[in-house]
């Protein structure tokens, strides 16, 4: 008896060493699923000294089971690809669901495995089987099989436990692989346009920076090209957005077929696209490509029974003649694009210094911006953030508007980019911060519910050396408790300078201020860095919410973002919620805080005050019609 116990203890120690080694393996934690399974099956076969170890996974409806990896010990070889109809072996799979492992001494006569005898066991010479189910999130997703060839084998309890533990490791590898795929989906989404699959603005800028560095090093030329679809809005409005989307994708295919291998075609936004043409011999190379694109768009487009014709306006800027940095090249290509439009569209222009009409317009707008700040023409509107489970307002976001004496309310999309470019965003942002804090304190002094006031920090503001002092002064002068101020920064802002971001955010956090990552999923989506920052809130960008109910990929991405947020104990807010269907699906995905036109547009201070007064008496979710 003592020798049996000693042998059992020795076996357990050996099994545990193998399990510990696999758990710490870089292959299981760093490689793809196929590499992980190959290491697991090989270690399992060698440890239990069996001829065959394999991993099988169900298909989506559990009708078939597919072999992902089979290791044959005597050959030292891996293979895969065999598929069996799971429905043909009901006794086996039913038994698996109710056992930690199936240990079949005689697999040909065991009631649980004899279904495999004629078509599987006999041809392969298998006599004994030790199989363990693979479970993932409460569902059996597959099976791990140990198959003995030759003499029948009596499986020990230690071997059964080892088989089950290895099955758990397979489950962990599958879960790790799924998480990596989800993270990669988010990363890809952050750098690519969902509709066309093209690189987005962020990725284009990254590639432009690299191409410029190479061009400087090798004394080469490159071109930045802006493309804009002529009168696309008219087609979109006439034929509908679905047809408009088809047209965009068809245009992209023709453009891609017109450029060289190694050129980048990116979607800049809306109906605007950009090209990066590295290693050109001169401006003629860029204009030749532009002409090829114009010619490619001449044939009619057939779109689900509709015929459409569309042309492009193109602007070209060439390094180093039209700019030596990315910002200048992009700006000058845009200037050339607008000159093309002024000249009648459906053509191209190469930038020249004489193209100053747009610069003049920008100067006029800049002067108006300076005067707006001096004359007090800026106003704040406030958009509520709603907890749909309670119907209560949990916060307000302060949004700046320009009340121009001549043109009326000017959209932020018109003046914010210029304010960023000129640096005026800094004094404007400081005014927004002070005004928002003042308003929140006024609401509290009036006895209204205490809530967070969210204020956006621009890239320029975030890089100010005295940002902390500015925030401290705003809180001190207004008397607002820091806990009721939430500062929002975008992913791209934090990723520009990680050390600066960590320092600034940590200082703000230590002051008691709430921190929010805005537009999550549209920037770098660097999940490994997210946990390094002291964010309290994650805002799901409206671009994911827009097609949530019609695009399963958007729903999947949002589900991943929500899961990540909850794992990091972050508050989650979905932006841009405009329909009941979006709201209901977000709620099913366990996102309960939302913001958007479904609940309320951004409101002037007076209307926002009335909304807060009413929110104490009834659910805000049902108040929105009177504020539209």
CATH number at residue 560: 3.20.20.450
* Structural domain includes residue 362: no
pLDDT at 5 exceeding the cut of 50: yes
Shared domain for 302 and 333, answered yes or no, is yes
87-113 mean pLDDT: 92
User: The CATH number of the domain where 48 resides is what?
Assistant: 3.30.450.40
Structure tokens at 30: 């760093």
* Structural domain includes residue 361: no
Shared domain for 480 and 564, answered yes or no, is yes
Structure tokens at 398: 């302060």
Instruction: Select from 323, 355, 387 the last residue of a domain.
Output: 355
Taking only the tens place, the pLDDT of each residue in 182-223 is 888 888 888 899 899 999 999 999 999 999 999 999 999 999
Whether 487 contacts 455, CB under 8 Å: yes
Predicted confidence at residue 626, as pLDDT, reads 39
Taking only the tens place, the pLDDT of each residue in 117-137 is 988 999 999 999 999 999 998
Structure tokens at 29: 């934690």
Shared domain for 177 and 206, answered yes or no, is no
Whether 315 contacts 339, CB under 8 Å: yes
Predicted confidence at residue 246, as pLDDT, reads 92
79-95 mean pLDDT: 90
628 exposed, middle or buried (CB, 10 Å; 0-12, 13-18, 19+)?
exposed
The phi-psi region of residue 488 (left if phi > 0; otherwise alpha if psi is between -120 and 50; otherwise beta) is beta
Predicted confidence at residue 416, as pLDDT, reads 85
353-373 mean pLDDT: 71
Q: In the structure, what pLDDT confidence band is assigned to residue 359 with cuts at 50, 70 and 90? A: low
* Structural domain includes residue 367: no
Predicted confidence at residue 251, as pLDDT, reads 94
Global pTM reads 0.47
86-111 mean pLDDT: 92
Residue 461's alpha-carbon distances to 315, 469, 536, in angstroms, are: 32, 12, 20
Predicted confidence at residue 622, as pLDDT, reads 45
* Structural domain includes residue 368: no
Shared domain for 49 and 184, answered yes or no, is yes
Predicted confidence at residue 398, as pLDDT, reads 96
Taking only the tens place, the pLDDT of each residue in 52-75 is 999 999 998 899 999 999 999 999
Predicted confidence at residue 28, as pLDDT, reads 67
600-606 mean pLDDT: 94
Predicted confidence at residue 485, as pLDDT, reads 97
pLDDT at 31 exceeding the cut of 80: no
Q: What share of the chain is helix, strand, coil (3-state, %, to 5)?
A: 50, 25, 25
Residue identified by tokens 């957005």 is 241
Tell whether omega for the bond before 320 is within 30 degrees of 0, i.e. cis.
Answer: yes
Cα gap 103→106, rounded to integer Å: 9
172-186, 497-511, 553-567, 597-611 — most confident range: 597-611
Cα gap 250→239, rounded to integer Å: 15
92-109 mean pLDDT: 92
288-303 mean pLDDT: 93
Cα gap 226→327, rounded to integer Å: 13
Least confident of 18-27, 265-274, 473-482: 18-27
For residue 340, the SS3 value is: helix
Q: Which among 361, 140, 323, 107 is positioned nearest to 215, based on CA atoms?
A: 323
Shared domain for 623 and 589, answered yes or no, is yes
- The more confidently predicted of residues 593 and 19 is 593
One DSSP character per residue, 263-282 reads -EEEEEETTEEEEEEEEESS
Shared domain for 512 and 577, answered yes or no, is yes
Cα gap 293→259, rounded to integer Å: 8
* Structural domain includes residue 363: no
Full residue range of the structural domain in which residue 177 is found: 2-189
DSSP 104: E
Shared domain for 230 and 334, answered yes or no, is yes
Whether 64 contacts 81, CB under 8 Å: no
Predicted confidence at residue 625, as pLDDT, reads 41
Predicted confidence at residue 185, as pLDDT, reads 80
> How many domains are there within the chain?
3
- The more confidently predicted of residues 353 and 464 is 464
- Whole-number average pLDDT of the chain: 87
Phi, psi of 376 (to 5 degrees): 70, 40
Instruction: Select from 189, 210, 237 the last residue of a domain.
Output: 189
Shared domain for 177 and 205, answered yes or no, is no
* Structural domain includes residue 587: yes
Predicted confidence at residue 230, as pLDDT, reads 87
Predicted confidence at residue 374, as pLDDT, reads 84
Predicted confidence at residue 519, as pLDDT, reads 73
Cα gap 130→499, rounded to integer Å: 53
Predicted confidence at residue 457, as pLDDT, reads 92
% of the chain at pLDDT higher than 90 = 55
Structure tokens at 124: 């392969």
Shared domain for 322 and 469, answered yes or no, is no
Taking only the tens place, the pLDDT of each residue in 520-543 is 765 444 555 677 889 999 898 888
Shared domain for 76 and 152, answered yes or no, is yes
User: The CATH number of the domain where 208 resides is what?
Assistant: 3.30.70.270
Q: In the structure, what pLDDT confidence band is assigned to residue 421 with cuts at 50, 70 and 90? A: low
- The more confidently predicted of residues 549 and 427 is 427
262-286 mean pLDDT: 94
The DSSP bridge pattern shows strands 139-149 and 126-136 to be antiparallel
Whether 155 contacts 130, CB under 8 Å: yes
Taking only the tens place, the pLDDT of each residue in 369-382 is 888 888 889 999 99
Shared domain for 599 and 464, answered yes or no, is yes
* Structural domain includes residue 386: yes
Predicted confidence at residue 188, as pLDDT, reads 82
Q: In the structure, what pLDDT confidence band is assigned to residue 465 with cuts at 50, 70 and 90? A: confident
Shared domain for 483 and 537, answered yes or no, is yes
* Structural domain includes residue 107: yes
pLDDT at 365 exceeding the cut of 80: no
How many residues would you count in the chain? 628
Instruction: Select from 189, 217, 245 the last residue of a domain.
Output: 189
């Amino acid at each position: 008896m003592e020798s049996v116990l000693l042998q059992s203890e020795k076996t357990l120690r050996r099994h545990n060493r193998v399990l510990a080694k696999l758990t710490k393996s870089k292959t299981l934690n760093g490689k793809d699923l196929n590499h992980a399974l190959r290491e697991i099956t090989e270690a399992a076969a060698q440890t239990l000294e069996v001829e065959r170890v394999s991993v099988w996974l169900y298909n989506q409806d559990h009708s078939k089971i597919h072999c992902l990896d089979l290791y044959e010990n005597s050959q030292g070889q891996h293979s895969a690809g065999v598929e069996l109809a799971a429905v043909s072996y009901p006794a086996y799979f039913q038994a698996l669901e109710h056992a930690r492992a199936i240990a079949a001494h005689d697999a040909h006569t065991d009631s649980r495995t004899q279904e495999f005898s004629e078509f599987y066991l006999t041809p392969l010479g298998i006599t004994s089987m030790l199989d363990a189910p693979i479970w993932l999130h409460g569902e059996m997703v597959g099976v791990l099989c140990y198959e003995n060839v030759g003499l029948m084998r009596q499986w020990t309890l230690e071997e059964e436990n080892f088989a089950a533990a290895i099955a758990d490791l397979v489950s962990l590898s599958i879960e790790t692989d799924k998480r990596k795929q989800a993270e990669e989906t988010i990363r890809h989404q952050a750098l690519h346009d969902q509709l066309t699959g093209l690189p987005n603005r962020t990725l284009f800028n990254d590639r432009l920076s690299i191409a410029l560095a190479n061009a400087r090093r090798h004394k080469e030329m490159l071109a930045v090209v802006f493309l804009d679809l002529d009168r696309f809005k008219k087609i979109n409005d006439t034929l509908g957005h679905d047809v408009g989307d088809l047209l965009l994708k068809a245009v992209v295919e023709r453009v891609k077929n017109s450029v060289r291998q190694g050129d980048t075609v990116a979607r800049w936004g809306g109906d605007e696209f950009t090209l990066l043409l590295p290693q050109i011999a001169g401006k003629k190379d860029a204009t030749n490509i532009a002409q090829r694109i114009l010619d490619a768009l001449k044939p009619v487009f057939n779109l689900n029974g509709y015929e459409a014709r569309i042309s492009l306006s193109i602007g070209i800027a060439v390094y180093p003649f039209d700019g030596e940095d990315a910002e200048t090249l992009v700006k000058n290509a845009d200037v050339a694009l607008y000159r093309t439009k002024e000249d009648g569209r459906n053509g191209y222009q190469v930038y020249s210094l004489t193209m100053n009409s747009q610069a003049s317009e920008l100067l006029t707008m800049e002067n108006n911006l300076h005067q707006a700040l001096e004359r007090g023409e800026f106003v704040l509107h406030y958009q509520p953030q709603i907890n749909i489970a309670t119907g209560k307002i949990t916060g307000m976001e302060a949004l700046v508007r320009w009340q121009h004496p001549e043109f009326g309310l000017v959209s932020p999309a018109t003046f914010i980019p210029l304010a960023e470019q000129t640096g005026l965003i800094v004094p404007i942002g400081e005014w927004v911060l002070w005004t928002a804090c003042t308003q929140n304190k006024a609401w509290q002094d009036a006895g209204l519910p205490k809530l967070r006031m969210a204020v956006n920090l621009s890239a320029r503001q975030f890089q100010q050396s005295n940002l902390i002092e500015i925030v401290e002064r705003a809180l001190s002068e207004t008397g607002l408790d820091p806990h009721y101020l939430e500062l929002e920064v975008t992913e791209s802002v934090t990723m520009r300078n990680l050390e600066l971001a960590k320092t600034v955010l940590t200082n703000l956090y230590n002051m008691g201020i709430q921190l929010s990552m805005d537009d999550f999923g549209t920037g770098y989506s660097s999940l490994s860095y997210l946990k390094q920052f002291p964010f309290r809130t994650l805002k799901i960008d409206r671009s994911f919410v827009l097609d949530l109910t019609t695009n399963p990929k958007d729903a999947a991405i949002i589900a991943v973002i929500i899961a990540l947020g909850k794992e990091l104990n972050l508050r989650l807010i979905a932006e841009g919620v405009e329909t009941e269907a979006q709201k209901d699906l977000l709620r099913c995905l366990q996102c309960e805080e939302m913001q958007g036109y479904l609940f309320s547009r951004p409101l002037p201070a007076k209307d926002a005050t009335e909304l807060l007064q009413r929110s104490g008496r009834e659910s805000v979710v049902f108040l929105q019609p009177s504020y539209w």
